[in-house]
Structure 1
């Protein structure tokens, strides 16, 4: 088994690769040593470099880096837990098999668990820049589609039960990952549990997501054909272009789009919000293959240390990104002695809000037009002020730009 070829094939042409994998006799040690360990190391090492070497920005604090020892500890634990996680998830898949008319087979269960993680591990490279680490969520969700395709082939699950089998396996996997992420977060000195700890997965929604992911799979297969043709021709530039198109298929859902100009986004940020004056404003554009992001951010403050930061991010008409990152699959209403957190929809737009009852910090985020993410963070202000600041960008104006630059 060639690691590079296997990773490429399971990601780009899973429908033809799963039968090949099903026919292989691979022992546990070889699978972990030659495939799982090298790929699982990517997000662990990249996260260490991103958090402890490159560093990241924190509002009101500035650019910081995790202590090297803390970073190394978190890196090692993340790597070890990734290995343990694959094994435990394979046990879950095997144990659930009879409930969905599948055949129990520990060896095949381990293979379907391990290879389904491939996109998430490869996308771990985005952790080099913490601001882009959310892109790993998209690749991880593509892994759900790989699991959906693999269960009927390796576990002999009836096709009509594959969706339910996938959904239950994912729910159990999320529980395992929540436990792991909480432990890692405790060691790292911060909460690193991320979105997974807030997700409520429902079978019907998983089915819809799988439909979208299947479309992504078809686009990736088409991109892979172009890569093979370019490789045979010996045209390296054509091969590189095909490779970036494949990346775009993962992150951009096949849509070719130009992001809204950063200056146009900056123009949506007003000079004042209530009694807060704009203290700074900036914009940037980032491109990675065919996937592009434009962002504008402004900070508002007054003399009493009331501060608000508003960020508008354009994902460039990447409909798959918008669909999968949307909180449409997530619901939450959690309250503690210190604050509350909610996920849901307002006027059809996925939202997320979090607030500390002492008024020290709060945030409100939502997805507009399937492509624009508006994030608002406040310090020493109430949630009403935060939501007012968010709405000040003009959701209707963003909605009107949702098809700007999009080419199907």
Structure 2
């Protein structure tokens, strides 16, 4: 397999190249070594040149900033590692969802679909040599989705009418799960390989996520039927509603309950925290199909400009939404002269805290009962004050609500 010719063919003539790829018997290690890794090096090296040599401009300030060589090397390693992991995770997602869309589960074929669909993204990343143009490379991601759509029927034997939704669901899952693992990579220092080992597909966290993807696939299959019916009706509003419900089904997959009333969450936010008085209190409930959240937020301040903002969000136990906050699967700690960041568990609850000495400012977040997210941000206060404010909502009270609205 000639790398340059394959990249050219899959990008310019994908309809004729996918059948060729489908017939190839390529070992996983060979695919990564001879195709994915060389292309994944493009964004890594381009970012190094752009960030460390060319430099990037700071909006409104008018200055050019360049990273140190050491920071650039670290970023290069992490970018390369995340690219490899991204391809692998995408293949797992595609394979896990296959049965729900009438496709055949085949790990070798799903890996080829993922690897070659990433081609335009990797190639276009050359633009990161000029950081101000780097965002344009994101447009290549749209073409990558198109390649995915074309490849699924050929390699995964997906019925043609189900390929669009199969591709859309796969992309949604990649984005959501990618947030979790990018957070991991962002917090790793020193040994990037330790991050890779922690994301092996046999871990309970990854296996659990894949199980939720299969549930989501079933919901999306139902949503797909509704979309087809709406399309036949010729009613644009019905089509839009069906599409919105489909996305809601994807984000809300695995939801175990109806969200609690927003006023119930607002009642947990005290009128004062120490010397800080509450000067605003808001609540809202949002829904998109099956995806629903309820939220309450309060802002506290005093005359010395000490400020704290607390937000309580009920995700109704949505596995896909909650995955973004699954810090408990990872334990990381990073400290610099300017502050620190930690991820782990406190009293069995997944937590994340970050503190910046300059200001000072910080945030403390935790997941309670698998559904309630408490986020507390502070300015001109220390971390002890932020944690005290967070605890003021009453974690035990939220724990007591864990079964509220649970579907019987």
Q: Do Structure 1 and Structure 2 share a fold, with TM-score over 0.5?
A: yes
1:75 aligned residue: 135
| Cα RMSD (Å) | 5.1
Aligned with 1:211 (options 204, 207, 216): 207
1:295, distance to aligned residue in structure 2 (A): 1.3
Which secondary structure state, in structure 2, belongs to the residue aligned with residue 286 of structure 1?
strand
1:345, distance to aligned residue in structure 2 (A): 0.5
1:315, distance to aligned residue in structure 2 (A): 0.9
The answer to whether the Cα contact below 8 Å between 1:119 and 1:140 also exists between their aligned partners in 2 is no
Q: Residue 230 and residue 378 in structure 1: after superposition, are their counterparts in 2 closer, same or farther (change >3 A)?
A: closer
Matching of residue 138 in structure 1 with residue 166 in structure 2: no
The answer to whether the Cα contact below 8 Å between 1:199 and 1:329 also exists between their aligned partners in 2 is no
Separation (CA, whole Å) in 2 of partners of 1:384 and 1:367 = 19
Deviations 1:4-34 (A, max 9, x none): xxx998785367536689679x999xx97xx
Matching of residue 296 in structure 1 with residue 381 in structure 2: no
1:246, distance to aligned residue in structure 2 (A): 5.1
Separation (CA, whole Å) in 1 of partners of 2:226 and 2:113 = 35
User: TM (normalized to structure 1)?
Assistant: 0.55
1:257, distance to aligned residue in structure 2 (A): 3.0
2:7 aligned residue: none
The answer to whether the Cα contact below 8 Å between 1:139 and 1:250 also exists between their aligned partners in 2 is no
Matching of residue 17 in structure 1 with residue 103 in structure 2: yes
1:356, distance to aligned residue in structure 2 (A): 2.0
Equivalent residues in 2 for 1:9-408, closer than 5 Å: 12-13=97-98, 17=103, 73-79=133-139, 137-140=175-178, 202=198, 207-227=203-223, 229-230=225-226, 247-248=247-248, 250-255=250-255, 257-323=257-323, 325-358=325-358, 360-407=360-407
Q: Residue 327 and residue 254 in structure 1: after superposition, are their counterparts in 2 closer, same or farther (change >3 A)?
A: same
Separation (CA, whole Å) in 1 of partners of 2:278 and 2:193 = 35
Q: Residue 218 and residue 241 in structure 1: after superposition, are their counterparts in 2 closer, same or farther (change >3 A)?
A: farther
User: TM (normalized to structure 2)?
Assistant: 0.55
Q: Residue 321 and residue 240 in structure 1: after superposition, are their counterparts in 2 closer, same or farther (change >3 A)?
A: same
1:294, distance to aligned residue in structure 2 (A): 1.4
**Count, aligned residues:** 289
